[in-house]
Amino acid sequence: MAGCVSAPHQESTVGEYLSARLAARTNDVGAAAQAFAAAQAEAPGAPQVLRDAFFFQLASGNIETAKPLAERLAALEEAGDDGLATMVLAAHAIKYSDYAKARAVLLDADVAPYMSATANIVRAWLVEPSGGPEAALTSLRENAGDEFKGFYPLQQAFLSEKAGQVSEAQTAYQLSVMSFGGPVEVAAYGGFLERSGELEAAREYYQLMAETPGLARIPARAGLARLDNGAAPPPIAATTPAQGAAVAFYALANGILQQTVSQRAAAQEAGFKVGDANYNMPLVFDQLALYLDPSFDGARRLAGSILNVYGESEKAIAMLSQITPSSSYYQQTRIEIAGALTALDRGNEAVAMLRKAARGEKNSYDVRLALSGLEAARGDHREAVKILDALLAELPAEPEADAWRLYLSRAVSLMEMNDWPRAEADLKRAAELAPEEAIALNYLGYSWAERGENLDEAFDLIEKAVVLDPNSGAIIDSLGWANYQRGHYEVAVGHLEHAAALEPGDPTVTDHLGDVYWRLGRQIEARYQWRRVLELEPDDALRAAVETKLEVGLDGGDE
């Protein structure tokens, strides 16, 4: 009887926990938070369930809900949370300006090495309200450890500038740019130059950073616009413990994210298969940054980007929509919102939003580029080319390092419009501008191979692309297809099988493998691959071609 009474409770707990684990594996952090919370309510004495419930409340941005769970975890002798619960309790106290409590929480706190620099930064800021920025700087220097030393210069810069130590602040800001050089560091140093009245130095700095690929261009362009308009310089990004801790948590989030991305890229380059991206830990620290400073647009953009990667489109839109037109991140977030809308099959809204953003901003290069890509994806290649024509006409005599992408994008749309002469010219220009970019070389080489033109040059380009990116299924496919076009079927089949193993869901690669099997007299295997193409959602042209091959084989009959 006792077993009968307890069984439904146990089954409920197990069911909630399994649901939570499934949601966690699929990066549905909201569903995971709800399911782990339900499992924790059913089994309040289970430490692992408590840890998971706590963690996913943080990842969902529910810091107030996570706080009582953090208290319970901190009370356990072996919580196993690396000190994260302690950091959350400190953040909660800072949020409500209870600095004495925050100091007590962090006093002799045992945190994992990867969080030690962040903990030291937070401790330093907790000294500042009573001891001033000089005391905070002393705390920062005395507690600086070896882990993540690059996090310290930006905090030293904030505190030095607040203390009126202009020379020390400038050195620290420069070091912060050298250490990470992300958008927050770039904006902080540029703002310092503006506040110091060094407007020409600020302009030169912004112009240099505006030509740098990546998100650092965003604050640089905003700085240039500010200087052009004679607008007031931005304030110091962190002058309170909440703002200083927010930047520290954001820096940790960004550092972990970059490390994770690099590790995934290295694994892929080494030929390993990687699963879905998991950025939960960066998301946790980024949510803490937003909790402490809701106006921190850099942190909001990062959270929205991670949610977009996770396929949480509605949540990403809600997060990113809070960034206002006055923010330097506004245009970038319109692009990311457009991506989320497209994922929700709301392409018309995405196009309308990007068109509005492009009209409303003086420097709308990135928005217009994204709009051209969206138009191409919708099949309106004529409009995509029109946008790219205007962008290319604005290029300086010596274009930026990534200008080759514009030529490549226009070439793709021109080929869809059957304008090969112009497309070929653009592909050549892209390869000329980017002789070490595998994608640019491969696109020209593959296009020639597909058309049976310039096969010797095509081989040279593709083989160089393979050296540059040896684990790209698309490039290996090009090498196989170039051999196929030459009639070297025995050589081609090995490359095409390798490409299919690297890109099993690509309909074009699968189609090529079917073709080479047919040429080698392996008709059963060829038809199997062609049938797989139809299961992989090919475009209309490929579908029609494959259906014909399934009916009559290659060249209209069996060989």
Position 243 pLDDT exceeds 60: yes
Asked, for residue 501, whether it belongs to a domain, the answer is yes
> pTM (2 decimals)?
0.84
Q: What's the CATH code of the domain at 443?
A: 1.25.40.10
Q: Name the pLDDT band for 1 (thresholds 50, 70, 90).
A: very low
pLDDT at 63: 97
Position 4 pLDDT exceeds 70: no
Q: What is the pLDDT of residues 491-521, one digit of tens each?
A: 999 999 999 998 999 999 999 999 999 999 9
Domain count, the chain: 1
Asked, for residue 498, whether it belongs to a domain, the answer is yes
Q: Name the pLDDT band for 362 (thresholds 50, 70, 90).
A: low
* Residue 231 DSSP SS3: coil
In this prediction, residues 87-91 reach a mean pLDDT of: 97
Residues with Cβ within 8 Å of 252's Cβ and at least 6 positions away in sequence, in order, are: 114, 115, 117, 118, 148, 151, 285
Asked, for residue 545, whether it belongs to a domain, the answer is yes
Asked, for residue 549, whether it belongs to a domain, the answer is yes
Q: What is the pLDDT of residues 316-361, one digit of tens each?
A: 999 999 999 889 999 999 999 999 999 999 999 999 999 988 886 5
Q: Which of 220, 189, 193, 194 is nearest to 207 (CA)?
A: 220
pLDDT at 9: 46
3-state secondary structure string across 75-102: HCCCCCCCCHHHHHHHHHHHHCCCHHHH
Position 376 pLDDT exceeds 80: yes
- C-alpha R_g of the chain: 28
Q: What is the pLDDT of residues 18-51, one digit of tens each?
A: 887 888 888 888 888 888 888 888 877 788 889 9
Asked, for residue 171, whether it belongs to a domain, the answer is no
Q: What is the pLDDT of residues 382-412, one digit of tens each?
A: 999 999 999 999 888 888 778 899 999 999 9
Q: Name the pLDDT band for 147 (thresholds 50, 70, 90).
A: low
- 387 and 393 in contact (C-beta within 8 Å)? no
How much of the chain exceeds pLDDT 70, in percent?
Answer: 93
Asked, for residue 190, whether it belongs to a domain, the answer is no
Asked, for residue 395, whether it belongs to a domain, the answer is no
Domain that holds residue 479: 435-559
How much of the chain exceeds pLDDT 90, in percent?
Answer: 72
CA distance 181 to 184: 8
Asked, for residue 379, whether it belongs to a domain, the answer is no
pLDDT at 15: 72
Q: What is the pLDDT of residues 459-494, one digit of tens each?
A: 999 999 999 999 899 999 999 999 999 999 999 999
Better pLDDT: 274 or 488: 488
